[in-house]
Amino acid sequence: MTIILPEPKTDSSFSLEQGLVRRRSTRQYVDGPLSLYIFYSWDEKKILKEEKSMIFRKSVYFVLLLAAAAILINLPPASHARGKLNPTPSDHEGPFYPVVRQQDEDHDLIHVDGRDQAAQGDILHLSGKVVNEDGQPFSQAVVEIWQTDPNGRYNDARDRSPGSRDPDFQYWGKALTREDGTYSFTTLVPGAYNPRPAHIHFKVWIDGEVRLTSQIYFKKKEVLNQPATPELQTVELQKNNAGEYEAFFQIVL
């Protein structure tokens, strides 16, 4: 048996269905009087191979995109990535920022100069620290607070809430930060008033300029009966052995 393999012959035709030019190669196999023609579409094989390669590349690209998206979603905030602290958000000053200065303006709000009795309510030892985003303290910064009494009333003529005010409660005070940026107040757990949760207003002054105006909220819902509050402005009240409350609030500028 003799097999003759001549050089491939090519012809071109146009497929309207596929929209491409198909080139065919013909090989003739001779076995006695019987001739058999076998056709191979070399260009089709090349196109299929390229299409498979393209699909593979697109699949890999898609998987990489999904992986990158997952990484970005789980990344911490930029401040965390740089090892920085999140700044304390600002908040409304409210309508009752003290405009009439009082004689007693210190950090002890439960004792008023000239009064023998202490203010009535749950005592709160509020302490904290004023730092920048790198954790460096601000010394000699002025932190001032103002708040309601346990009944949810401000000592302000503009507050029309009914009921008497406690003359033994200072309602407003200020503290100077120490060398390490710490501050402290002795005050009362504030009362909530509809629709606001219980809170303490504060301002931070540095070199005579207000750097931040915001509010402090509390997590002790069984005491304060309040809704959810901003995480970076919320602290938890802890009761000490003396039955008084303590809270630590760091202020980041």
Reported as a single tens digit per residue, the pLDDT across 148-188 is 999 999 999 999 998 899 999 999 999 999 999 999 999 99
Reported as type and span, the H/E element at residue 73 is: helix 42-74
pLDDT in tens, 50-98: 666 777 776 766 767 777 666 666 655 555 556 899 999 999 999 999 9
pLDDT band for position 13 (cuts 50, 70, 90): very low
Instruction: Please tell me the predicted confidence (pLDDT) of residue 216.
Output: 98
Burial class of residue 7 in the structure, from the number of CB atoms within 10 Å of its CB (0-12 exposed, 13-18 middle, 19+ buried): exposed
Note whether 214 and 202 are within 8 A (CB).
yes
Question: Domain locations in the chain?
Answer: 9-74, 123-252
pTM over 0.75: no
What SS3 string covers 88-136?
CCCCCCCCCCCCCCCCCCCCECCCCCCCCCCCCCCEEEEEEEEECCCCC
Instruction: Please tell me the predicted confidence (pLDDT) of residue 27.
Output: 46
Sort strands 234-235 and 209-218 into parallel, antiparallel or unpaired: parallel
Cα maximum dimension of the chain = 131
Q: Report which of residues 41 and 75 the model is more confident about.
A: 75
Please name the fold of domain 123-252.
Protocatechuate 3,4-Dioxygenase, subunit A (2.60.130)
Instruction: Please tell me the predicted confidence (pLDDT) of residue 103.
Output: 86
Note whether 185 and 175 are within 8 A (CB).
yes
